[in-house]
Amino acid sequence: MSNDISNNLLKQISIAFNDKTPLRISAGNSKTFYGNHVNAQAINTLEHKGITEYQPSELVVTVRSGTLLSELESELKANKQMLAFEPPQHSEETTIGGIVACGLSGPRRAACGSVRDFVLGTTIINGRAEKCRFGGQVMKNVAGYDAARLMVGAQGTLGVLLDISLKILPVNESEISLKINTELSHAIKNLQQWTQQGLPVTASCFFKNTLYLRLGSTHSAVKQSLNTINNNFDTEEIDEAFWLSIKNQTHDFFTNANLWRCSHQMATRFYGDTDKQLLEWNGALRWINSEKDLYATADKHNGHAQRYPLTNSDETTDIFQPLQPGVLKIHKRLKQAFDPENILNPGRLYADL
């Protein structure tokens, strides 16, 4: 399904710019929970859809932002390729534009990189209703400032995403998922050792004294890695569907009402009740159940925290780690540079932006 509504979107933004009417940008509405509530007139990109360019040997795909993630991924899969950052699919209506705008990556992130690492170019409409194309469709491009990657995680506050070019990767010839009963510190120590040894760990998760692992590479490399692990552990093979429950956050753990997403260096000391945590990314991503806010604690451990209730909220409190004053100042000026009338998703990312 292909459909180009960029002119229509441009018109809507142009009117909003002239009238100074704030807009709430949405597509499939699967990530309303991921950001502050924006009380404004709706503009929707769901109908701006379709893969506009895809040559598998280029390892690049260009898509319109309203393209369903599921549609894009199945097209890539048919060509034995993938979005290596393994984006979460929160609902059937999840779009690639929403993924890029929110900057969300899944279990494979620690091994392959995050969504911003794979963005090569974006075409946007900024807050002055100008259509701008940054970056491109090639692997390397240093012409001008990297405003293409700047859109990742900006949640639409700097521009409405129209088209996105992404680097893609071939799927592994072989992947296997397993689980191991072990305790936390042992699990993390081994993960560190395995990555240091170059074992092809493409995902890891630790929860309730169980380490879940996914290995991916060529057939013989996966077999050899499995042997290495089997030398020290009793492993049990599991269905790869387990990773869907982590990636899409449908695992029971994510129903916790007081969930925090804390991001750290892999070897950061643990804090909080480790029995009530779920870890990903070799220990770098920690889902923590906590009634009190974790901003200060995460900061003390050189990381950052964010609230993560998977429900829509009307709360006006910021959900993301507060920014340093100097950094916030630059954020505000950049917002001004892209959206001088403050009409694009005002307040969604931070109250002041």
Applying the rule CB under 8 A, the residues between 290 and 349 that interact with other proteins are 302-304, 306, 320-321, 323-324, 326-327, 329-331, 333-334, 336-338, 349
Q: Shortest distance, CB of residue 314 to other proteins, whole angstroms? A: 22
Q: Shortest distance, CB of residue 113 to other proteins, whole angstroms? A: 6
214 binds other proteins (CB under 8 A): no
Smaller CB separation from other proteins, 28 or 216 = 216
Tallying the residues shown for the chain, one arrives at 353
What type of residue sits at position 54? Y
Candidate list 77, 186, 219, 292; residue touching other proteins; CB under 8 A:
219
12 binds other proteins (CB under 8 A): no
Smaller CB separation from other proteins, 68 or 123 = 123
Stretch that binds other proteins, among 12-20, 88-96, 192-200, 203-211 (CB under 8 A): 192-200
Phi-psi sector, 260: left (phi>0), alpha (psi -120 to 50), beta: beta
Q: Could you tell me where the beta strands, DSSP code E, fall in the chain?
A: 23-26, 41-44, 51-55, 60-64, 81-82, 119-125, 131-135, 160-167, 169-170, 174-181, 201-207, 210-217, 236-237, 259-263, 277-280, 285-289, 304-307
Applying the rule CB under 8 A, the residues between 79 and 98 that interact with other proteins are 80
284 binds other proteins (CB under 8 A): yes
Applying the rule CB under 8 A, the residues between 140 and 169 that interact with other proteins are 140-147, 149-150, 152-154, 158, 169
Other Cβ atoms less than 10 A from the Cβ of 275: the count is 10
> How does DSSP assign 119-166, residue by residue?
EEEEEEE-TTS-EEEEE-SSS---SS--HHHHTTTSTTSS-EEEEEEE
**For residue 261, which of 307, 223, 208, 192 has the smallest C-alpha distance?**
307
Site string for other proteins, 54-73 (x = CB under 8 A): -xxxxxx-------------
Q: Shortest distance, CB of residue 195 to other proteins, whole angstroms? A: 7
Residues 184 and 190 sit within 8 Å (Cβ to Cβ): no
Residues 8 and 29 sit within 8 Å (Cβ to Cβ): no
**Helices (H), strands (E): how many in the chain?**
11, 17
Give me the torsion for CA of 145, 149, 152, 157, rounded to 10°: 20
Applying the rule CB under 8 A, the residues between 31 and 50 that interact with other proteins are none
131 binds other proteins (CB under 8 A): yes
7 binds other proteins (CB under 8 A): no
Candidate list 15, 267, 296, 351; residue touching other proteins; CB under 8 A:
267
Candidate list 51, 171, 244, 310; residue touching other proteins; CB under 8 A:
171
Q: Shortest distance, CB of residue 291 to other proteins, whole angstroms? A: 21
> Residue 248: CA atoms inside 13 Å, Cβ hemisphere, count?
15
Rounded to 10°, the helix 184-197/219-230 angle is: 140
Residues 172 and 201 sit within 8 Å (Cβ to Cβ): no
221 binds other proteins (CB under 8 A): yes
What type of residue sits at position 165? S
Smaller CB separation from other proteins, 98 or 103 = 103
Smaller CB separation from other proteins, 158 or 344 = 158
Candidate list 10, 51, 132, 238; residue touching other proteins; CB under 8 A:
132
Smaller CB separation from other proteins, 180 or 199 = 199
110 binds other proteins (CB under 8 A): yes
